[in-house]
Amino acid sequence: MYKTRKKLYYLLVNAAVLLLSVALSLLLVKKNVGNALPVILAGVPACVFLLALVSGAAVRHTIDARLRKKYLESGETAYLEEFIDRLRFCYSYDDLYKVFAEILEFKADCSVLLVDRAKKYVLYNSPNRISSYSDIRERLLSNFELNWEDGFYFMGQNLGIVSDYRQARGFFICYQGIHCFVFNRYTRLFDMNIYSKLQEEFCRFFDRTKIIANLSEISSLTKEWEQLAETQVSFLPRKMPDIPHLKIAAYYRPLVNVSGDYYTVLPIDSSRTLLMLGDVSGKGLPAALIMGLVMNTVKIMENKNDLVGLIKAVDKAIKGMHLQDKYTVLFLGIVDTELMKISYINASMSDPIILTRAPDGYRIKSLASNASLVGIIDMDDVSVSEQRLFRGDTILLATDGVSEVMDDSGVELGDTDIFKETLTSSASKSPQQFVDDIVDLIMRYNGDKRLHDDVTMMVVKVG
């Protein structure tokens, strides 16, 4: 009714504007025949029409407001308008059920049935009304299948679809498998224009609740991830042990809340100390699981002098997890401050080095890889390598998140002279000062960009 009356009134207003414009234009032209301003007269009809058009727009606006008030904001349709207004501020099913009861049931004398067809579950039905009858629900579920097309429809006396809304005894809204049935014997009195608005607001409500539910789930998962991150950090040394003739500092910065990087320092006896630092492939929960597994495997091994036995135990433990494409690169080393040497197995770690004093400054000696990836391929015969140590030597163990930081042009930090200069110029400093210098360099070199990998390092000063 609202749209019909609106079109009719608009047609009458437009016709009146056109007739008035033509009449005024003819009158002005006739009155000024022979005038010396034919150019101005030529523009008179256009000006008159524009003036009438502006006036007509104001008239149409007034008519629209009155029609809306008459047909949509009063009478029976006002109930659905009020329901739509309240629905805009519903953020949960409980909010929706409250509006069902207060507006549709109490004020509009409707009966409501809300069904999740995918889960075959009745979400809401008006108590002590037609929608609460089990035979009614069964007939509706039979008439309207799960894959019913989204939209609004009118129901007749037999609870089937009717094309003539004047014969309707209720209406039905379907959105993504959620079916909402509203029974009302004066459905024909609701203005037709209201149903598209009602369906649109229903769709928005269900989309809104899904978003809120997802956010709640994310929030819950975030808390679980935070707990996992706290558990993971507990595997790492909270404080470096006090070891004679060694000073140690470490830096650990995960890219996300959990990481595949790990390190530990385990004193064996008064002169020997086990150092371990590694990086698990990938990110997220699987990497965190492998990290915890490696740390636990090494800690529980009784003979920590047996580097070959340690790395083979780690390899076996990872393969026993049966996680696809999961492996670790790993450095295991024993620093002996009595014999002044480091015995080590480097399983594909690229960055372990020793900075040793020379007449012209500090030289960089690599602790080269001597073993394959751990946990994914068959390990060949593993051998232990040794390097001599001198008092004042600095050992740097770092994951590739340090050397592979890139500048704006895509050049990796490990390939630059400034990286080598920083290593050699900081080698005489304490381990913590050394770590601070490298971290400062990483942040400057990376600029304002987000880091793309975990950053973990351990610095050991001998003597």
Assigned domain for 219 exists: no
- Closest Cα to residue 413, out of 370, 360, 355, 457? 457
On whether both 136 and 181 belong to a single domain, the answer is: yes
Assigned domain for 269 exists: yes
On whether both 145 and 47 belong to a single domain, the answer is: no
Query: What are 184-191's contacts with CB under 8 Å, separation 24+?
Result: 184/108, 184/109, 184/110, 184/111, 186/76, 187/154, 189/75, 189/76, 189/77, 190/76, 190/77, 190/80, 191/1, 191/2, 191/71, 191/72, 191/77
If one counts the domains in the chain, the total is 3
Residue 136 belongs to what domain range?
90-214
Strands 341-347 and 385-388, by their bridges, are antiparallel
Assigned domain for 10 exists: yes
On whether both 188 and 276 belong to a single domain, the answer is: no
On whether both 371 and 280 belong to a single domain, the answer is: yes
Assigned domain for 39 exists: yes
On whether both 336 and 444 belong to a single domain, the answer is: yes
The pLDDT value recorded for residue 437 is: 97
| 137: CATH | 3.30.450
On whether both 154 and 274 belong to a single domain, the answer is: no
On whether both 404 and 441 belong to a single domain, the answer is: yes
On whether both 118 and 202 belong to a single domain, the answer is: yes
Residue where a domain stops, chosen among 43, 71, 99: 71
On whether both 171 and 127 belong to a single domain, the answer is: yes
Assigned domain for 158 exists: yes
On whether both 248 and 361 belong to a single domain, the answer is: yes
* 185 HSE (CA, 13 A, CB side): 3
Per DSSP, the residues of 267-299 read E-SSSEEEEEEEEESS-HHHHHHHHHHHHHHHH
On whether both 54 and 142 belong to a single domain, the answer is: no
User: What is the token pair recorded at 129?
Assistant: 């009304």
The pLDDT value recorded for residue 91 is: 78
Assigned domain for 222 exists: no
The pLDDT value recorded for residue 37 is: 47
| 377: CATH | 3.60.40.10
The length of the chain is 463
Assigned domain for 80 exists: no
On whether both 131 and 249 belong to a single domain, the answer is: no
Chunked mean pLDDT (size 10), the chain, 463 residues: 49 56 56 48 50 52 48 70 89 89 92 88 84 80 84 88 86 91 90 90 87 65 73 86 96 84 95 97 83 90 94 92 87 97 95 93 94 90 95 96 90 94 96 97 89 92 93
Assigned domain for 81 exists: no
**pTM for the complete prediction?**
0.56
Element (H, E) at 78: helix 77-87
Report which residue type is found at 134.
S
